[in-house]
Amino acid sequence: MINAIINGIQIQVEQGTTILDAAKKANIKIPTLCKHPDLDPTAACGICIVKIKGSDKMARSCCTEIEEGMDITTHDAEITAIRRTVLELILSNHPNACLTCIRNQNCELQSIAAEFGIAEEPFEKILSEEKIDESIKTIVLEPEKCIKCGRCVQACQDMQNVWALSFVNRGIKTKIAPAAEFKLAESPCVSCGQCSAYCPVGSIYEYDETSTVWNALNDPSKYCVAQIAPAVRVAIGESFGMESGELATGKLYSLLKRMGFKAVFDTNFGADVTIVEEATEFVKRLRGGEGILPLISSCCPGWVDFMEKFHSDMIPNFSTCKSPHEILATLAKTYYAQKTNIPASDIFMASIMPCIAKKFEVHRSKEMYASGNQDVDVSITTRELVKMIKQTGIDFAALTDSEPDHILADYSGGGTIFGVTGGVMEAGLRTINYLITGKNLEKFDLKDVRGLKGVKEADIRIGEHDLKVAVAHGLGNVEYLMNKIRAARETGQNPPYHFIEAMACPGGCIGGGGQPRNVNDAVRNLRINGLYADDKNCKHRNCHDNPQIKQLYKEFLGEPGGTKSQELLHLYYRKREEYKSYRETDFLF
Amino acid sequence: MFENITCIKIGMSSCGVAAGAEELYQQLSAVIKEKKLPVELKKVGCLGICYAEPLIEVKTGDNPAVIYRNVNIETALEILENKIPSELVIDEDLEIKNQKRIVLKNCGKIDPEKIEDYIQNKGYQAIKKAILELKEEKIIEEIKKSGLRGRGGAGYPTWLKWKATKEVISLNNDGKFVICNGDEGDPGAYMDRSILEGDPHSVIEGMMIAGFATGAAKGFFYIRAEYPLAVDRVQKAIDQCYDRNLLGEKIHGSDFNFDLEIRLGAGAFVCGEETALISSIEGKRGYPRPRPPFPSIKGLWDKPTVINNVETLANTPYIILNGGDEYAKTGTDKSKGTKVFALTGKVKKPGLIEVPMGTTLRTVIEEIGGGIQGNKKFKAVQTGGPSGGIIPEKYLDTPISYESLQELGSIMGSGGMIVMDEDDCAVDIAKFFTKFCVDESCGKCAPCRIGTIQTLKILEKLTNGEGAPEDIDKLKTICHSMEKASLCGLGQTAPKPVLSSIRYFEDEYLEHIKEKTCRAGKCSFLKQESVEK
Amino acid sequence: MTFYTPIPDELKEYIDKWKLKKGSLIMILRSVQDYYGYVPKKICFSLAKELKAPLARIYEVLTFYNYFKTESPGKYKIAVCMGTACYLKGAAAIIKAIEDKLDIKESQATKDGLFSLENVRCIGCCGIAPNMRINEKIYGKLNKERVSEILDEYINLNAGVSSSQEPPIL
C-alpha cells in the first residue's frame, strides 16, 4: 500500500493507482475529458493536471502513478485557471452547435464546459474543414467536432483490432479517419460502433434512421411492428433515470404500442428459435454429419462482417443460422402474416437493437429477404429509440407494464441471456444437452462461461461427449481464438474446441455500440446481472421448452433444421478478402 | 614550386560542400595526380569558420599549418605555387581565441572517414580504459565527478541517467539500449551535424562507454532526415569499427558486446524529445509519452534506455581519458565543461564555436563573432531555438550556464545562438518560432495543438496591425497554460520565444498594437503603408 | 478498391532485409520514397501485405512525418531552408523569387514537372545563410540574382531534351 496526501487528506491506495483514481478515494473529482475507465490514458486533453509538491511542473493525474509520500494538490486558483484556458482552447477548435448536435445534453465536453461555467469564447474559432463521412450508413464521422482524444482509435485498433480508424496528419491538421483518404465504407470498418460508444462528443455516432420509423408510423398503409433485442431492456432505463440493469421489458412493450406499433414482438423469441436451430446444427456436426467443428456462433453481425473480411477461411465453421432479429422478422412476415391475414408487403418491421452493425445486416445479402420482402425494414439503436421517446413526450420511467403479442414474443431464459457474453453458449449448451441426452440440465447456470473475462474456456461433459467450448467478446479476443483454431488446423491437430461463441462488443450486446453511453465494466456488470435475473425468473429456462416455439415448429416450420427452416432461417457467407490487405496485423513493429 | 607543401586539408562538412569544397577537392586532386605531386590531400570536417568557406589548410614542411579562406581553384593553384594570397590567410589563433576545444578537437583536423586518423588522436583509448581499468561503477563515478549535463538542452546530469539504467536488473543482455539523439531540429543549429560529419568516431566511442557502463549491448543512432552526409559518415565509421572488432562481440577481449545501428528520422522536430524519439525508432508516429516512467527505466520497447545527445556523448571519451576532475576544471559551479554553439545571424563571423561554460554572451558575440555586421546595432540574441528565448543587450555580460540562461527566460538549448540586429522585430521573431511550433506540434495533446495555433493567430493580428490591447494578456494566458499543461517539452517550452520577447520588448508589442508601427520595418502593415505613401 | 502492385526487385531486396527488424517501418518507407521520389498509394497496399501491417498503421506514420510525400514531386526538388538564420537573412524573399520565376507556389510543382518547391526546416548550413537545396546539392549565400542564375542552369540543362525522351519522372 502507498501512503500519500491529496489536498491535505491522508490516503492509502494500492501500488499502481493513478492520482486520478486515488483522488476518488478522498472524494475528489479531478476533471478529465479524454480518460475513459476502459481505456489506457491517452494524456491528450491536459485537463486533469495536478501539482505535486517539489516539482514545478504539473502532472497529468490520469497517467501518473501515485508514489509513497506524494503531496498532491488537485485544485487551486492556478490549476483551475489553467484548466479553464485549456478548455477554452479546446472549445475554440469545436463548433458551437450544441443545440443541433446529436449529443446535446449528453456530451462530455458540454458537461465539463458547464462545470467550469464557461461563459465566453476568448479565442478565434479554428474549425476543421474535413467533410462529414456517412458513406457506410451505419456510423457517421463528423471531424469538425472531434477533440482528438484518441479513444475511438484505441477502441478500433487495440480493442477491436479492426484498424479502420487511425490518426492522420499531425499538429492542428490531425484528423481521425481511415487510411489513404478512404471513406469509412471502403475501410475495414465492421460497424461494431465501439468508436461511437467511446466518443465523448458528437463526432462519431450512429447513422440516424429514426425518421424512417416515424414515416412508417405515420403511413396508414403500413402495418408497423417492432421487436426489442434482449440487451435493450436492461440499458434503456439509464437514459430515463433508472438504474443500469433494471429490467424495462414491460415498459418497452407499452411504449411501442403507444408509439403506434400495431404489434410488439420480442427478439428473445427469435433467440429461442436460433438456439433450437443452432443446437440442432451443432449436434448434427458433432455426430459426424455435414459441416465441421468447432461450430462458431453467427448471431453478431459485426463479427460476421469481420469474419468475412479477415477470417473467411472460417466460413465452413460458421453456424448458418440467422441472427435472432432476422429470424423473428422473417417469421413475422411469413408465419404471423399468414395467421393474421395481413399481407407481408404491408408489414413494416422495426428492430430496436443495442447494435450498429444490424443497420448493415438488414440488407447484407439475399437471405435477408427470405420472406419475399426485406425482412427487417429498419434497425435502430437503443440510443435512437431514446431520442424518439423524448420526442413523444412519454414519461418512460413511469410507464406501466403491458403484454406483447405473445405469438412472437414469449421467451425462455435462454433467449434473454443472448444479450450477454457467454449467453449464447449457455443457452446453446442447455439445448444441446437436451438434444443429446433427452434430458434437461439439472443445474442451469454455467458459471465458467459467464463474466467479463475476454476469453473464457470451459469443459463440459454431455452424454458421452467431453465438449470443449470457448467464449470471446471484443473482436481482438475473438481473433485470438480464431488464430488458435487456425494454428491447430494448419499443424494437423484436432480442433481445440467444439463450440465457440463470438461477440464483437465487450460484454456482448449489453455493451453494444448502439447502447446508452458512459459504459464501463461496472455498468456492464449491472446490465449483465439484469439479464441473468430475467433468466432466473423465466418460467422456462430452456429455449426448446418455450411453448410458443414448440407451436411454431408444429404449425409452421416442421423439424428444426428441416427444409422450411433452411429456406427461411439460414444464410450463407462470402469471402470479402479485398479488405484483407488493409488490415494484416501480424507485423513486427 | 610545390616543394614544401606536404598536406592540404579541405573542410568538407555540409556547409563547406555547399560553398564549393567538393568541386575544389576534385580539381585539386586532379592537379595533384596529373603533376604527380607528393602532397597528401585530406577531406576534413568542419573547421568552425563557417563564414569563410571553402577553407583549406596547408602544411608546408615543419611550419605551422596555414588556413586560407574563400578559396577557389584559381587561388588554390596560386597557393600551390607558393604565391601566398595573404589577404586570404586566416589567423587560426585569433579564430579560436576565447575557445576551448574538447568536443571539436578533431573536427577539421582529421579525416572523418578514416578510423586511423581518429585512432592516431587517442581514439578508442577511452573505451579500452573503461573496459579494462575502470569497470562500470568507476565510469559512472568519473562522469559524476565531471559534472557533465545533457547538452540537448535540459541539462539533466548524465551520470544520473546512466545510473538509473544501470541499476535496472536485466536478465538477458539484449534488454537495455543506448540511443544517440541526433535529431537536431532547432532551426539555426548545426552543432550535432558538424560533430557527426567531422568526428563520428568520438560519438560512437561515447555510445560504447555508455553501453558498457549501463549494461546495454545495443545502440541506436537516431539521425535527422535532413543530414545525408552525417548519415553517410556515421555508417562508414560503424563499418570500420566492425572491421576492427571495436564493435561486435568481445570488445577488447572482454565480455562486452556492443552492436550499433542507424535509424533515420523522417522530419519531425518533436522527435528530439526523448519519448517521441523512442516512438519513432519503434516505427510509430513520433508521439511523446507521459513521464514517468522515464526512458532510463522504461524506454525503447519498454526496456531501460539511455538517451544522450550527440554532444553529450562526444564529451565522454575525453572525461574517461582525462578524468572527471580534469573536465570539471572548466566551466562554472553547476555547469561544467564546454558548450558548442552554432553562432549565426547578424554577426560578422558566423561559425561553429566551442567555449568554456561561463564565457559571457558578450565575448561570444563581440569577440568570437566579430560583432554585428554592416554597422548595425545589436538588438538581442536568441538561444535555445523554438524552446528558448531572446536576450537583450543589458544581459550580454551574463556568463553562459544552464541556470543563468533559464533565469533570463531562455534556455541553453542544444546550442543555436542567433544574433539579431536592429532590423529584426521582436514580434516577428516570436511569430517565426510560433509558426515553427504550429508546424511541428505532434497534435497529441490539446494545450500544444491548439495553444500554438491560437498564439500564432494573435501574433499574426499584431504584425498585420490588427492587434488589440488585451492581446498581450491573452498571449500570456495561453502561454502559461501551455507551459503547465502540455505533455512534452515541445509544448512546455514553445511559449518561451513569445514570453521572453514580451518580457524584454513589450514596448515593441505596444507599438504594434497602438501605433501600428514596427520599428524594425519587418511587419507587413508598415510596408503596405509605405507603399501607399 | 485494392491497388496491389508488385514491388520492384531492388526495393524488395531492401524491404526483405529490414522487415524482420523491429520498428523498421520508417526505414522502409524512406527506401520507398528514395526509389520513387514519393510514396505512391499503390505501394502502400503492397507494403501492408508484405509487412503484414495494417494499412492504417502505414498511413499513420506516413502522414506524420514531413519527409514523406504522397504526391510526385518535380524532377528537381527545390527546398528553401527556413531555419532561423536563413529566415533572418531573407529566406522569404528567396522563396518569393523562386515562385515568381517558376510561376508556382510553395508545395507545388511546375507544369512540366521539372521543379517543385517547398520550404524545409533547417538544413544546418546556417553559417552561409540563406540556403536552398536542389535535390542533394546545397546552395548558400543566396540572393535573388544568384537564385535566378542557378535555376537557369537547370532549365538550360533540360532545354535540349524533349519531354518524350525524358526518363520517367519518379
Q: Hey, is the C-beta of B193 within 8 angstroms of any chain C C-beta?
A: yes
Q: How many CB atoms lie within 10 A of CB A567?
A: 13
ipTM above 0.90, yes or no: yes
Segment B42-60, tens digit of pLDDT: 999 988 888 888 999 998 8
Q: Which stretches in chain A have pLDDT values below 70?
A: 587-589
The residues facing A263 across adjacent strands are A225
Nearest residue, CB atoms, B441 vs list A43, A150, A171: A171
> Which fold is adopted by the domain B358-533?
de novo design (two linked rop proteins) (1.20.1440)
A265 close to A404: Cβ distance less than 8 angstroms: yes
| Catalytic entry in A145, A251, A358, A359 | A358
Strand order in the sheet with B351-356: B351-356, B338-345, B416-421, B378-383, B390-392
Q: Hey, is the C-beta of C47 within 8 angstroms of any chain A C-beta?
A: no
Q: Hey, is the C-beta of B187 within 8 angstroms of any chain C C-beta?
A: yes
Residue owning grid cell 510525400? C69
Judged by CB atoms closer than 8 Å, whether chains meet at A92 and B485 is answered as: no
| Catalytic entry in A196, A239, A298, A319 | A319
Please report, as a single letter, which amino acid is at residue C151. Answer: L
CATH architecture, range A2-75: Roll (3.10)
Q: Hey, is the C-beta of B263 within 8 angstroms of any chain C C-beta?
A: yes
| Cα–Cα distances in angstroms (integers) from residue C143 to residues A428, B200, B255, in the given order | 81, 33, 57
Instruction: Tell me which chain B residues have a C-beta less than 8 angstroms from the C-beta of A52.
Output: none
∠ Cα A568 A570 A574 (to 5°): 130
Q: Hey, is the C-beta of B344 within 8 angstroms of any chain C C-beta?
A: yes
A47 close to A87: Cβ distance less than 8 angstroms: yes
Per the annotation, the verdict on A166 as an active-site residue is: no
| Cα–Cα distances in angstroms (integers) from residue A512 to residues A505, A522, B221, in the given order | 6, 15, 46
* Helix, strand, coil % over all residues of chain C, rounded to 5: 45, 10, 45
| Cα–Cα distances in angstroms (integers) from residue C103 to residues A165, B64, C98, C109, C119, in the given order | 39, 53, 8, 10, 16
Which residue of chain C has the CA closest to B264?
C27
Per the annotation, the verdict on A319 as an active-site residue is: yes
Question: Under CATH, which number does the domain C76-159 receive?
Answer: 3.40.30.10
The chain-wide mean pLDDT, for chain B, equals: 92
Instruction: Kindly tell me if the per-residue pLDDT of B451 is higher than 60.
Output: yes
pLDDT at C166: 43
∠ Cα B449 B454 B455 (to 5°): 105
pLDDT at B79: 84
Which residue of chain A has the CA closest to B294?
A64
Window 151-170 of A: residues touching B by CB (8 A cutoff) are 167, 169-170
Q: Hey, is the C-beta of A70 within 8 angstroms of any chain B C-beta?
A: no
Per the annotation, the verdict on A361 as an active-site residue is: yes
Q: Hey, is the C-beta of A6 within 8 angstroms of any chain B C-beta?
A: no
Segment C19-43, tens digit of pLDDT: 889 999 999 999 999 999 999 998 9
Domain range summary for chain B, segments of one domain joined by + = 5-95, 115-328, 358-533
∠ Cα A458 A194 A425 (to 5°): 20
> Quick one: which of B278, B282, B305 has its CA closest to B290?
B278
DSSP H or E run through B106: none
> Quick one: which of B8, B76, B21, B82 has its CA closest to B50?
B21
Per the annotation, the verdict on A144 as an active-site residue is: no
Per the annotation, the verdict on A308 as an active-site residue is: no
As a whole number of angstroms, the longest Cα–Cα distance in chain C is 51
- B170: pLDDT confidence band, cut at 50, 70 and 90? low
Instruction: Tell me which chain C residues have a C-beta less than 8 angstroms from the C-beta of B187.
Output: 82-87, 121-122
| B interface test, pick of A19, A51, A55, A86 with most B CB neighbours within 10 Å | A86
B456 close to B481: Cβ distance less than 8 angstroms: no
B272 close to B184: Cβ distance less than 8 angstroms: yes
Residue owning grid cell 477554452? A88
Judged by CB atoms closer than 8 Å, whether chains meet at C67 and B442 is answered as: no
Domain range summary for chain A, segments of one domain joined by + = 2-75, 91-206, 211-586
Per DSSP, the three-state class of B378 is strand
Q: Class of the B5-95 domain?
A: alpha beta
| Residues B272, B267: Cα–Cα separation, whole Å | 10
> Which fold is adopted by the domain A211-586?
Rossmann fold (3.40.50)
| Cα–Cα distances in angstroms (integers) from residue A585 to residues A480, A581, A588, B389, in the given order | 12, 10, 9, 45
| Cα–Cα distances in angstroms (integers) from residue B506 to residues A32, B426, B511, C114, in the given order | 35, 9, 9, 47
Window 79-118 of A: residues touching B by CB (8 A cutoff) are 81-83, 85-86, 89-90, 92-93
pLDDT at A398: 97
Which residue of chain C has the CA closest to A171?
C64
pLDDT at A39: 94
| Residues A224, A222: Cα–Cα separation, whole Å | 6
> Quick one: which of A250, A314, A278, A334 has its CA closest to A560?
A278
pLDDT at A589: 53
B426 close to B504: Cβ distance less than 8 angstroms: yes
Q: Hey, is the C-beta of B227 within 8 angstroms of any chain C C-beta?
A: yes
Question: Under CATH, which number does the domain A91-206 receive?
Answer: 3.30.70.20
Q: Which stretches in chain C have pLDDT values below 50?
A: 1, 162-170
pLDDT at C114: 94
The C-alpha cell that represents B396 in the structure block: 550580454
Q: Which CATH superfamily is B115-328 part of? A: NADH-ubiquinone oxidoreductase 51kDa subunit (3.40.50.11540)
Mark A493-525 as b/e (b = at least 16 C-beta within 10 Å).
eeebbbbbbbbbbbbbbbbbbbbbbebeeebbb
| Residues B147, A535: Cα–Cα separation, whole Å | 71
The C-alpha cell that represents A529 in the structure block: 446481472
pLDDT at B3: 59
Segment A159-217, tens digit of pLDDT: 999 999 999 999 999 999 999 999 999 999 999 999 999 999 999 999 999 999 999 99
Per DSSP, the three-state class of A84 is helix
pLDDT at A323: 97
- B171: pLDDT confidence band, cut at 50, 70 and 90? low
CA distance B445 to chain A (A): 4
| Residues B129, A151: Cα–Cα separation, whole Å | 52
Q: Where are the alpha helices (DSSP H) in A374-474?
A: 382-392, 413-416, 423-437
Mark B462-494 as b/e (b = at least 16 C-beta within 10 Å).
bbebebeeebbebbebbbbbbbbbbbbbbbbbb
Instruction: Tell me which chain A residues have a C-beta less than 8 angstroms from the C-beta of B290.
Output: 41, 43, 60, 63-64
Instruction: Tell me which chain C residues have a C-beta less than 8 angstroms from the C-beta of B229.
Output: none
In this structure, which long-range contacts are made by residues C105-112, counting pairs with CB atoms below 8 Å and at least 24 apart in sequence? C109/C72, C109/C73, C109/C74, C110/C74, C112/C163
A64 close to A43: Cβ distance less than 8 angstroms: no
Instruction: Find the length of chain C.
Output: 170
| Residues B44, B112: Cα–Cα separation, whole Å | 6
Please report, as a single letter, which amino acid is at residue B525. Answer: F
Chain B residues with CB within 8 Å of chain A CB: 268, 282-285, 289-290, 292, 438-447, 449-454, 457, 474, 477-478, 480-481, 484-487, 492
| Cα–Cα distances in angstroms (integers) from residue B485 to residues A41, A87, A94, in the given order | 15, 11, 19
pTM assigned to the model = 0.94
Instruction: Kindly tell me if the per-residue pLDDT of B194 is higher than 80.
Output: yes
pLDDT at B60: 84
Q: Tell which wins on pLDDT, B221 or B39.
A: B221
What is chain B's Cα-based Rg?
Answer: 24
The C-alpha cell that represents B296 in the structure block: 532510463
Per DSSP, the three-state class of B387 is helix
CA distance A177 to chain B (A): 15
Q: Which residues make Cβ contacts (< 8 Å) with residue A89, sequence separation at least 6?
A: A123, B446, B447, B450, B451, B454, B478, B481
| Catalytic entry in A65, A134, A367, A457 | A367
